[in-house]
Amino acid sequence: MSIPFIDLKTQYARVAGQVGQGIDAVLQSGAFVNGPDVAKLEQRLAEYTGTRYAVGCASGTDALMMALMALKVGPGDAVFCPPFTFMATAEVVALLGATPVFVDIDPVTFNMDAAQFELAVRAVEADDSALYPLPAHTGKLTPKAVIPVDLFGLLADYAAILPVAAKHGLAVVEDAAQAFGATVELDGTTRRAGSFGQIACTSFFPAKPLGCYGDGGMCFTDNPELLDLLQSIRVHGQGHDKYENVRLGITGRLDTMQAAVLLAKMDIFEDEVRLRQEVFRRYADLLGSIPGLTLPTVSAGRLSVFAQYSILAESGEHRAQLLERLKSAGVPSSIYYPVPLHLQPAFANLAYARGAMPVSENVAGRIFSIPMHPYLTTAVQGEIASALAG
Ligand SMILES: *Cc1c(COP(=O)(O)O)cnc(C)c1O
């Protein structure tokens, strides 16, 4: 049997009954878009994340887009984000005419480096790229928002990032697309992904820790005014009357069938988060003695949901050897992300130089991900470990 990178089939066998019932009820109801299950899901996930309000939407990308629109991000604004992330994080910034200002990452967590974030904000305030590498040809920008990304399922360093954002008057939009279910102990309380910033965003793309069977996403906020704005932007800037449009918006609604799928999957989600910890611990045991591998670590007081299990090889050549070994053993692997966003052709207009984000560039050249999902068995993890050991 071939080894899946993410095993959605085993999960489906577990939830098939509930999912079938949920979808059938939607089919019977005829409320296919933004139906009652969407409101039910919003309430359930707001409660789960510990936020007051949730707004279901069509994808994680739309969630980010709606968040930035609600915060009135536009031309002339600088939005700080890491370059070592999925395209969508910075794409929405540029789509709104604002400028992504990249902030390099921490080499251990792969998340935004809070000290460099402050340097980048100061550089934009002073319009001085001698202080920190800035995009070219933009004119003077106004620091407006920051999008910390909870990469690979591990929460960003909010304890350090939030005070910097507050000091400089920046809005915070959490990109929790890969981290739904992740936690951190902060000031004596357990905080969940989806609860940071003015607005937090997540994705329900099938491969994410909480995935549906198509596209879906959600925004979370504690602010009633932002809730109103997000709900309006989700449906073409709708006012209180359906045919009154008070602002520009998007077609951002969530399909009711996807909400039904997610409600069924939420019943097993906490158990899956627990299973992911077991898989993580077994990998640590099995791979710990293989020389030259830097395995993911999770510091005390944190819990990662491991959207990816990402390992650093010693070099690009070493990675190529390891990937070749995995391939010949029939083990799937993937590289998240081989090219950081500041070097992507889509952002060539920002004219970032190679070397501008040294940690992201170094990590992009060495990182690779191996199978990670709640249903990985000890036996299969053993096979993967022997393949890597060579
Ligand atoms: C997947 C992802 C998104 C976008 O979510 P979609 O639902 O695919 O639009 C945004 N940011 C990050 C970090 C992601 O991994």
Tell me, what CATH number does 354's domain have? 3.90.1150.10
* Secondary structure (3-state) at 246: coil
What residues have CB less than 8 Å from 228, skipping those under 6 apart?
none
Tell me the pLDDT of the chain averaged across its residues. 97
Ligand 1 center to 289 CA (angstroms): 33
Same domain, 362 and 385: yes
Is the pTM higher than 0.85?
Answer: yes
Report whether residue 85 contacts ligand 1, using a CB cutoff of 6 Å: yes
Check: CB of residue 235 under 8 Å from CB of residue 13: no
Same domain, 309 and 230: no
- Final residue before a domain boundary, out of 229, 264, 299: 264
Average pLDDT over residues 95-113: 98
Report whether residue 308 contacts ligand 1, using a CB cutoff of 6 Å: no
The confidence band for 193, taking pLDDT boundaries of 50, 70 and 90, is: very high
Residue 241 pLDDT? 83
Same domain, 385 and 277: yes
- The sign of the dihedral angle between the CA atoms of 201, 202, 203, 204 is negative
Same domain, 216 and 283: no
Domain hosting 129: range is 8-103+110-264
Same domain, 246 and 183: yes
What residues have CB less than 8 Å from 342, skipping those under 6 apart?
83, 102, 350, 352, 356, 357, 360
Domain membership of residue 1 (yes or no) is: no
Report whether residue 256 contacts ligand 1, using a CB cutoff of 6 Å: no
Q: Provide the domain count of the chain.
A: 2
Same domain, 151 and 221: yes
Ligand 1 center to 203 CA (angstroms): 6
**Residue 44's CATH number:** 3.40.640.10
- Final residue before a domain boundary, out of 264, 279, 302: 264
* Secondary structure (3-state) at 314: coil
* Nearest ligand 1 atom to alpha carbon 59: 7
- Final residue before a domain boundary, out of 203, 236, 264: 264
Domain membership of residue 3 (yes or no) is: no
Host H or E run for residue 309: strand 309-312
Residues 304-319 as b or e (16 or more Cβ within 10 Å = b): bbbbbbbbbbeeeeeb
Spatial CA neighbour of 98 closest among 53, 55, 67, 123: 67
Residue 1 pLDDT? 62
Same domain, 52 and 140: yes
Report whether residue 174 contacts ligand 1, using a CB cutoff of 6 Å: no
Query: pLDDT for 231-243, tens place per residue?
Result: 999 999 999 887 8
Following DSSP, what letter does each residue of 68-98 receive, concatenated?
HHHTT--TTEEEEE-SSS-THHHHHHHHTT-
Query: pLDDT for 318-370, tens place per residue?
Result: 999 999 999 999 999 999 999 999 999 999 999 999 999 999 999 999 999 99
- What are the start-end ranges of the E strands in 66-212? 77-81, 99-102, 142-146, 171-175, 183-186, 189-192, 199-203
Query: pLDDT for 113-166, tens place per residue?
Result: 999 999 999 999 999 999 999 999 889 999 999 999 999 999 999 999 999 999
Same domain, 206 and 238: yes
Domain membership of residue 352 (yes or no) is: yes
Report whether residue 34 contacts ligand 1, using a CB cutoff of 6 Å: no
Q: For residue 350, what are the CA distances in angstroms to 18, 50, 191?
A: 48, 37, 35
Q: For residue 356, what are the CA distances in angstroms to 81, 231, 342, 382?
A: 14, 38, 8, 39
Residue 314 pLDDT? 98
Determine which residue's CA is closest to atom 14 belonging to ligand 1. Answer: 177
Q: Does residue 189 register a pLDDT over 90?
A: yes
Average pLDDT over residues 73-89: 98
Query: pLDDT for 5-30, tens place per residue?
Result: 999 999 999 999 999 999 999 999 99
What residues have CB less than 8 Å from 45, skipping those under 6 apart?
54, 194, 218, 220, 262, 266
